[in-house]
Amino acid sequence: MSTGVDIPEGKRLNKYGDLENLELTVEDWMTRWEKKRIGFHEDEIHKLLKKHLDIILNGRKQIRIFFPLCGKSLDMKWLADQGHTVVGVEVSKMAIKEFFAEQNVSYTQESVPGMPSAEVFKSCDGQISLFNCDMFDFSSLIPQKFDGIWDRGSLVAINPSDRQRYVKLMITLMAKGCHYLLDTFMYDQDKCVGPPFSVPELAIQDLYGQSCKIQLIESSDALTDRQRLWGLDSFIEKIHLITLKTDADSGAFV
């Protein structure tokens, strides 16, 4: 069906009717924030994080938790208030500033040594550090690995062509004993243009299976009127626990 819009080569219309690159760029994501095209943002603590937080913690207190592509997620403040150290990465400076303003958290803003284009925003109590930079520039910035990862809206947001690169980075950020909770969706992508992109079970096995042990924690029907407007009649949300195989082999896997 014709949209009546002349779409240049290499571009597409997203769900909002805006032109974007077929392979989303950093600039595309910043534009989404500027135009408030942020339907992925939730105005409450994610219910599945609440439900499965004990899996990330694995009996530990005050752990170090990573949020890839963190946006202005309320989950970060919720975890920091429980005494955990939260580190996030977000390409949109607007999102980071909105997080601190909306959560009424005072912060400092600093450049990152060796990376003139990167900045880090730190809460004054030291519990939250949000890095404003490209996700794939992040690994060199962090001297300490993470005890837990909450991947909500990150793997499903990146271009499918970047998934191998992304997963390789995530695995390098996992400390021994890290519990990585991965939130994904599965749907008929012929009916809808992501993000969020569909991530089939086989793709998860292919991406993480060589280095990690994978456990399906929950699979649930997440179809709402929002997804129906996208043309979907099925939208499944899945939560997986990802742990390094060396940890699993030593009995640390739950």
Q: 171 pLDDT band (50/70/90 cuts)?
A: very high
Per residue in 185-215, pLDDT (tens digit) is 999 999 988 899 999 999 999 999 999 999 9
Q: 249 pLDDT band (50/70/90 cuts)?
A: low
Q: 66 pLDDT band (50/70/90 cuts)?
A: very high
Would you call 9 exposed, middle or buried from its count of C-beta atoms within 10 A (0-12, 13-18, 19+)?
A: exposed
Q: Determine how β-strand 85-90 pairs with β-strand 212-221.
A: unpaired
Pick from 26-35, 67-76, 162-171: least confident: 26-35
**Residue 39 confidence (pLDDT):** 83
**Residue 193 confidence (pLDDT):** 83
| Residues across the chain | 254
The encoded tokens of residue 45 equal 């603590």
Q: Is the pLDDT of residue 250 over 90?
A: no
Are 39 and 226 in contact by the 8 Å Cβ rule? The answer is yes
Q: 144 pLDDT band (50/70/90 cuts)?
A: confident
CB atoms within 10 A of CB 50: 11
Helices (H), the chain: 26-34, 47-57, 74-80, 93-102, 163-172, 201-208, 225-229, 245-249
